[in-house]
Amino acid sequence: MTEERAALPSWRPGQARDEILAFLEASGQIPPEDRLACFDNDGTLWCERPRYIQLEFLLHHLQQRVQTDPALGTTPEFSAVLSGDAAALEQVGLPRIAMALTGLFAGLPADRFKVLVREFMAAAANPALGRPHRSTVYRPMLELVDELRLRGFAIAVVTGGGTEFVRAVSQELYGVDPERVVGTLIEYDFADGEGGPVLTRTNRVSGTLNDGPDKVSHIQAQLGRRPVFAAGNTSGDREMLTWAETADGPSLALLVDHDDEEREFSYPGTGESATPTEPITDVAHRRGWTVASIARDWAEVFP
């Protein structure tokens, strides 16, 4: 027990840590092939405030492009974004803006997009926290990833964000291979070029956004097994967390509660889920999920 407590040094003693340690201890009973742990990304593995990191990336490229092509900034989506006007932003809506921004990369080969993401992540910083985005991953969650991996778990990142955006940095930040990143996927166009097949990004989402019930369906489609552990922080993670919780044998559903205005941010986990539901913290208490309060349970937040 002493050894295991030493294993999660950034977690303060308390109910959340006790429940996690109990699950880690019980995980030996789980058949190896069922040891799959699924982590939401924004707000669960890395910081999502004041804006999604991917949105920062898209805005960065929009600003660059508008400098050489000012007309681009006059579309309703881009002028709303560039003005920062809350009413205009709300009127156009995040989904439409996100798709317009995604379109900036249509026509790029897969490898080129990966390079752009890595260049951005090597340099850009969170404007409110004053630390690089790459250092806004949550240290307690990385410790938990390590402990699960030590016990033979496959670790997957299941994000509402862009699959390829997260894949570009998942190995470096989390040790997660690209095939274990399940997200919102942009379709590729296939062409049989002179030097072999060429895949270029389009501006079309493949299938559906990876949120809510679709997280469950996409996990099955891409990963082919049901998680016995899931972590999330918004209503968009509700079905995934319930799916893990109701698996046979030992299981754990973990909700990160952002309640620490001093060290990070304080906001409810309403998320962008299409289905209005009860507050996710209420769901967690009702179903007996493990709730990690950042203020109470995390001795350290960032690396």
Contact residues: a copy of itself, CB under 8 A = 33, 110-111, 154, 156, 163-164, 167, 171, 177-181, 185, 188, 190, 192, 195-197, 199, 206-207, 213-214, 216-217, 220-226, 239, 242-243, 245-246
Shorter beta-carbon distance to a copy of itself: residue 123 or 221: 221
Query: Crossing angle, helix 53-68 and helix 110-123, to 10 degrees?
Result: 100
Torsions phi, psi of 254, nearest 5? -120, 125
Shortest distance in whole angstroms from residue 221 CB to a copy of itself? 6
DSSP-assigned letters across all residues of 235-254? GGGHHHHHHHHTSSSS-EEE
Shortest distance in whole angstroms from residue 185 CB to a copy of itself? 6
Shorter beta-carbon distance to a copy of itself: residue 95 or 207: 207
Shorter beta-carbon distance to a copy of itself: residue 13 or 175: 175
Shortest distance in whole angstroms from residue 101 CB to a copy of itself? 21
Shortest distance in whole angstroms from residue 22 CB to a copy of itself? 21
Shortest distance in whole angstroms from residue 164 CB to a copy of itself? 7
- Tokens coding 263: 């060290």
DSSP-assigned letters across all residues of 42-102? BTTTB---SS-HHHHHHHHHHHHHHHH-GGGGGSHHHHHHHHT-HHHHHHH-HHHHHHHHH
Shorter beta-carbon distance to a copy of itself: residue 17 or 134: 134
- Tokens coding 53: 């990191």
Beta-carbon contacts of residue 136 (< 8 Å; ≥ 6 apart): 46, 47, 53, 126, 129, 302
CA distance 97 to 52: 13
Shorter beta-carbon distance to a copy of itself: residue 213 or 268: 213
Alpha-helical runs (H) found in the chain: 2-6, 15-26, 53-68, 76-83, 86-92, 94-102, 110-123, 139-150, 163-174, 213-223, 238-245, 280-287, 294-297
Shorter beta-carbon distance to a copy of itself: residue 9 or 107: 107
Shortest distance in whole angstroms from residue 29 CB to a copy of itself? 18
| Residue labelled with tokens 């299409």 | 274
Shorter beta-carbon distance to a copy of itself: residue 38 or 92: 38
CA distance 213 to 233: 15
- Tokens coding 184: 């919102």
Shortest distance in whole angstroms from residue 13 CB to a copy of itself? 31
295, 259 Cβ separation under 8 angstroms: yes
Shortest distance in whole angstroms from residue 59 CB to a copy of itself? 24
Shorter beta-carbon distance to a copy of itself: residue 119 or 179: 179
Selection from 260, 271, 273 nearest residue 302 by Cα: 260
